[in-house]
Amino acid sequence: MAAAERRQPDSRTADLGDAGYGSQSDETLFLRFRDRGDEGAFRALIDRYHDDLMRFLYRMIGDRQGAEDVFQEAFLQAHLAGASFDGTRKFRPWFFTIAANKARDLLRKNKRRRMLELSAPVGGASRGEGGASFVDLLEIDVDAPGERMDLDERDALVQRVLDSMSPTLREVLLLAYFQRLSYAQIADDLGIPLGTVKSRLHAAVAAFGKGWNALVEEGLA
pTM beyond 0.95: the answer is no
Of the segments 126-135, 193-202, 208-217, which one has the largest average pLDDT value?
193-202
Residue ranges, CATH 1.10.1740.10, the chain: 14-112
**Contact call for residues 115 and 163 (beta carbons, < 8 A):** yes
Candidate ranges 134-138, 154-158, 198-202, 208-212; pick with highest mean pLDDT: 198-202
Residues of the chain with CATH 1.10.10.10: 113-221
The C-alpha angle with vertex 134 and arms to 194 and 91, in degrees rounded to 5, equals: 50
For the stretch 215-219, contacts whose Cβ atoms lie closer than 8 Å and that sit 24 or more positions apart, written own/partner, are 215/157, 215/160, 215/161, 216/123
Residue 76 has pLDDT above 80, yes or no: yes
Q: pLDDT exceeding 70 applies to what percent of the chain? A: 70
Right CATH for 14-112 from 1.10.1740.10, 1.10.8.640, 3.30.200.20, 3.30.1330.10: 1.10.1740.10
- Give dist(CA 177, CA 143) in Å, integer: 21
Q: CATH second-level architecture of 113-221?
A: Orthogonal Bundle (1.10)
